[in-house]
Structure 1
Amino acid sequence: GKTLGIWGYGRIGQLVAGYGRAFGMNVRVWGRDASRAQALTDGYQAATNREEFFSQCDVLSLHLRLNDETRGIISLEDLSCMKPTALLVNTSRAELIEPDALLAALNRGRPGLAAVDVFESEPILQGHALLRLENCICTPHIGYVEQDSYELYFGAAFDNVVNYIKGTPTNIVNPGALQVRR
């Protein structure tokens, strides 16, 4: 089967690893020593080095927090190690990848494909270069939402507004705030 690479084996990374296993994928993890050790304990593979991780994954999914240590942690050199048939998925934070590195890598054909749900500036501007690429799928930071959930969340919000206007507010977190007169 195909190899799913996961960089960042926290709560979400572990969940994605389970999905990969359910689809018959070989799951390979990269990250801190503790993350790789946990992945081995959970029955997954741990990459021995960064270059191997990038070069062997058919799908590589990022699940890292953004902080000073992880900002720009993925370079054009890393992306250039990926297969021309590989897919990079970033639903984590755009700033994990060096500025313009993903665009350059996709234009060079390594990785061959990308699916991104996060951008350095959101919402993504209409003329953004990634939107013009045929090998990149971009979603506006809502890739996790499926239609039923979307309708449920926004339906509940709409109901709350309507009920408030009618004078029968619902789902009040701080009832004391309703007592304040303006």
Structure 2
Amino acid sequence: MKIAILDDYADVVRRLDCFKTLEGHEVTIFNDYVSDVDVLAQRVQDAEALVLLRERTPIGEALLERLPNLKLITQNGHVPHIDLEACTRHGVVVCSELTSRPSYAAAELTWGLIIAAMRHIPFEAEALRQGRWQSRIGRGLRGRTLGILGYGRIGKVIANYAKAFEMNVLVWERENGFGQARKDGHDIPANRADFFARSDVLSLHLRLNEETRGSVTAQDLACMKPTALLVNTSRAELISPGVLAAALKAGRPGMAAVDVFETEPVLDGKDPLLSLPNALCTPHIGYVEVDNHEIAYGNAFKNIVAFDAGNAVNVHNPEAVKGMSFELAARALVGRELAVPAVRVSGMC
């Protein structure tokens, strides 16, 4: 198959062990980001399969209608950036494995940002290079309160890290999510305002959807301590647009450490957070780690091999697989093979 791998910013894919999975295929790797649909369509016009990494490139009707050769889009994880209905209309199968494994890479970066921001490590390292000695005084973690907004897979890992640092853990969740946090021995605040007010470090670990988009408001941040740190390695869109920069300028919270931005990638340096001295910013590297890439790309490549063999797996839009009976289509759930009889590639054009 002719395969296009998009947005490999660090030019790392061809050096991964899992890349050997694609031997025998014609593979083109793009290392830069392209937002212009015209340019992107020209680049991948001959591709039969697109390999994506998370939400780096959205896929919709405007692109799909210009890719007549495309048969397959594959990646790992959830696919909110892919228009599944448009893919189905164009006969493009979308394959992506949903796993229950938490992103330890993202959790580790979150904790790294917490320590780096609380102790001003990047600032002090740069100050030392410039000949200054002990420019700022930081705060330790032991005995302080870590607020976790969203007690899911990553939130639970972060809570365990906090225990090792002898921090108090405070959890805010949707009502049906408090039960597990209580079982795990964590504190539940009286209300949302109390949660933001009590947290010395507050870390966001919500999945982005219509309910959570913009759910962290200016009013929430105004409740935080002027000494508090807000950490966001999840999604920038969880916070109302422009609210975090304004809150940092107002001094509540006193600091932020972010790995995500409202518009990505940030290539022009114009995001307001980058100019604030009390914001520690990294370029969405929470999941950018060798082991994590081996898993993510490895799963995506396995989908290609299965598809090319005529047996698509991890399909999100089984209606796109032509020639299937209604009964098979109804059973073609994500994570299950499209089973017997095996669907031949020639039937998926």
Q: Would the TM-score normalized by the shorter structure come out above 0.5? A: yes
Superposed, which structure 2 residues align to 1:77-88 within 5 Å? 77-88=219-230
Structure 2 CA distance for aligned equivalents of residues 153 and 71 of structure 1: 27
Q: Show the counterpart of 1:113.
A: 255
Query: Between Structure 1 and Structure 2, whose CA radius of gyration is higher?
Result: 2
Conserved 8 A contact 1:37-1:46: no
| Letter in structure 2 aligned against 1:83 | K
1:18 aligns with 2:160: yes
Paired residues, number: 163
Structure 2 CA distance for aligned equivalents of residues 48 and 176 of structure 1: 51
Please give the per-residue CA displacement for 1:2-48, whole angstroms capped at 9, x wherever unaligned: 10000100111111111111110000000112222211111111112
Pairwise CA RMSD: 2.4
Structure 1 CA distance for aligned equivalents of residues 155 and 247 of structure 2: 24
Match of 1:57 among 180, 196, 199: 199
Structure 1 CA distance for aligned equivalents of residues 159 and 307 of structure 2: 44
Match of 2:217 among 75, 99, 110: 75
Gaps spanning 5+ residues in structure 1: where?
A: 158-169
1:136 aligns with 2:279: yes
Please give the per-residue CA displacement for 1:151-172, whole angstroms capped at 9, x wherever unaligned: x958xx8xxxxxxxxxxxx989
Q: Show the counterpart of 1:4.
A: 146
**Offset at residue 120 of structure 1 (A):** 1.3
**Offset at residue 143 of structure 1 (A):** 3.3
Please give the per-residue CA displacement for 1:115-152, whole angstroms capped at 9, x wherever unaligned: 11111110124121110011001111103546xx37x9
1:90 aligns with 2:232: yes
Indicate how the Cα distance of structure 1 residues 23 and 175 shifts in structure 2: closer, same or farther if over 3 A, else same: same
Conserved 8 A contact 1:83-1:111: yes
Q: Show the counterpart of 2:305.
A: 174
**Offset at residue 95 of structure 1 (A):** 0.7
Indicate how the Cα distance of structure 1 residues 174 and 76 shifts in structure 2: closer, same or farther if over 3 A, else same: same
Gaps spanning 5+ residues in structure 2: where?
A: 1-142, 310-344
Structure 1 runs of 4+ aligned residues shifted over 3 Å read 143-146, 170-173, 175-178
Structure 2 CA distance for aligned equivalents of residues 133 and 176 of structure 1: 48
Indicate how the Cα distance of structure 1 residues 126 and 28 shifts in structure 2: closer, same or farther if over 3 A, else same: same
| Letter in structure 1 aligned against 2:182 | L
What percent of counterpart residues are identical? Answer: 58
| Letter in structure 2 aligned against 1:19 | Y
* Higher RCO structure, 1 or 2 (CA under 8 Å, sep 6+): 2
Indicate how the Cα distance of structure 1 residues 70 and 173 shifts in structure 2: closer, same or farther if over 3 A, else same: same
Conserved 8 A contact 1:7-1:62: yes
Give SS of 1:107's match: helix
Structure 1 CA distance for aligned equivalents of residues 212 and 293 of structure 2: 32
Please give the per-residue CA displacement for 1:84-140, whole angstroms capped at 9, x wherever unaligned: 111100111111101110010000010000011111110124121110011001111
Structure 1 CA distance for aligned equivalents of residues 305 and 201 of structure 2: 45
Structure 1 CA distance for aligned equivalents of residues 181 and 307 of structure 2: 47
Structure 2 CA distance for aligned equivalents of residues 95 and 42 of structure 1: 29
Q: Show the counterpart of 1:166.
A: none
**Offset at residue 176 of structure 1 (A):** 7.5
